[in-house]
Amino acid sequence: MNIQDPTLSARTGSIDMAHGGGGRATAELIADLFQHHLTNPILDQGNDAALLPPVAGRLVMSTDGHVISPIFFPGGDIGSLAVHGTLNDVAMAGAEPLYLTVGFILEEGFPLADLEKIVISMARAAEAAGVPIVTGDTKVVEKGKGDGVFITTTGLGVVPDGVHVSVERAEPGQAILLSGSLGDHGVAILSKRENLEFETEIRSDSAALHTLVAGMISAAPGIAVLRDPTRGGLAATLNEIARTAKVGIHLEENAIPIKADVKAACELLGLDPLYVANEGKMVCLCEPGDADAVLAAMRAHPLGRDAALIGTVTEDDAHLVEMETEIGGVRVVDWLAGEQLPRIC
């Protein structure tokens, strides 16, 4: 993948409706910007569809739209986020991600220089992950009918033999592991949005988790459930698991890692870190006998250094998520009915 500075003919201009018209302007945008930065043998085939070699094994597909605002933020941008987000959804099926596709919806007037920054960021994230972007599409809407750029990515992956990761496999008695501290992404976005400054800059945790997952699976191929607590945070993820698998969840507040500055920012902003989005963290449910091995594998990876055992799956006909608080009480961690942080991913 070539991520050098280009000689982009249109790099100083902005998106106009012609870039979405399917004619010469569209072709030039694709060649000068997308193909230039994202180049790989499959993308360079130049067909509307990407032709891929055969893949042996069960496949996984996942798709995710990205509408985050602001599009540039501490720790990332909409481009790297769109790569990481979909890689992670594929990885949460226990799969090795193989290919990505990307669809851009651009607003008339969006600066080409910003678009180029985003495409370079996607190229870097894809290259670092070892997963090529194999085909794409660009549409343009009139000024006022979009918001700069929206990016939908889709990932294809393959599940190793013997691995069966699925939310339905959650069962009472399983250990609940968390790969690191909560709330970094959501707090970074909100701080940027509100122009808040803290002593140390809080950065998004946006990262690709598939190599961490691979390490965990080789430590314990029987892992039952993997989920990344993005929108709605850990609370939404655990409630989804509880509802789908018809189990209860018991958490220990003491055990949940949250960075001191994130905690302080949450207090200032009136946020509960359990509900704040993360983009580089995961929850893992496994048999209690596997917990030590999985935790060790997590802690051996740079993205899992702060991994912790945070609770257990319980039997509960009400499918509640309950948390033993720091002061010893028990609190129900319900879903939020409404929106806590709009456009966080």
Which residue, 227, 327, 234, is CA-closest to 272? Answer: 234
- Residue 62 interacting with its own copies (CB under 8 A): yes
Positions in 251-290 near its own copies (CB under 8 A): 275, 277
Q: Which residue's CB is nearer to its own copies, number 267 or number 339?
A: 339
Q: Which residue's CB is nearer to its own copies, number 274 or number 295?
A: 274
- Residue 23 interacting with its own copies (CB under 8 A): yes
Q: Residue 117: left if φ>0, alpha if ψ -120 to 50, beta else—which one?
A: alpha
> Distance between CA atoms of 43 and 132, rounded to whole angstroms?
8
- Residue 130 interacting with its own copies (CB under 8 A): no
Q: Which residue's CB is nearer to its own copies, number 95 or number 308?
A: 95
Return the exposure string of 132-170: e unless at least 16 CB atoms fall within 10 Å of the residue's CB, then b: bbbbbebebbeeeebebbbbbbbbbbbbeeebebebeeb
329: Cβ–Cβ under 8 A, 6 or more apart, which residues? none
Q: Which residue's CB is nearer to its own copies, number 69 or number 264?
A: 69
Specify the pairing of strand 76-77 against strand 58-66. Answer: unpaired
Q: In whole angstroms, how close is the CB of 335 to its own copies at the nearest point?
A: 4
31: Cβ–Cβ under 8 A, 6 or more apart, which residues? none
- Residue 35 interacting with its own copies (CB under 8 A): no
- Residue 318 interacting with its own copies (CB under 8 A): no
- Residue 231 interacting with its own copies (CB under 8 A): yes
- Residue 72 interacting with its own copies (CB under 8 A): no
Q: Which stretch binds its own copies (CB under 8 A): 63-71, 111-119, 246-254, 283-291?
A: 63-71
What is the number of other CB atoms lying within 10 angstroms of the CB of residue 231?
19
Q: Read off the tokens for 205.
A: 């945790």
Specify the pairing of strand 308-314 against strand 248-252. Answer: antiparallel
Q: Which stretch binds its own copies (CB under 8 A): 116-124, 129-137, 255-263, 297-305?
A: 129-137
Pick one of 52, 196, 255, 268: the residue that binds its own copies (CB under 8 A): 52
Positions in 80-99 near its own copies (CB under 8 A): 89-90, 92-93, 95, 99
- Residue 57 interacting with its own copies (CB under 8 A): yes
Q: In whole angstroms, how close is the CB of 327 to its own copies at the nearest point?
A: 26
Alpha helices in 158-232 (DSSP H): 184-193, 210-219
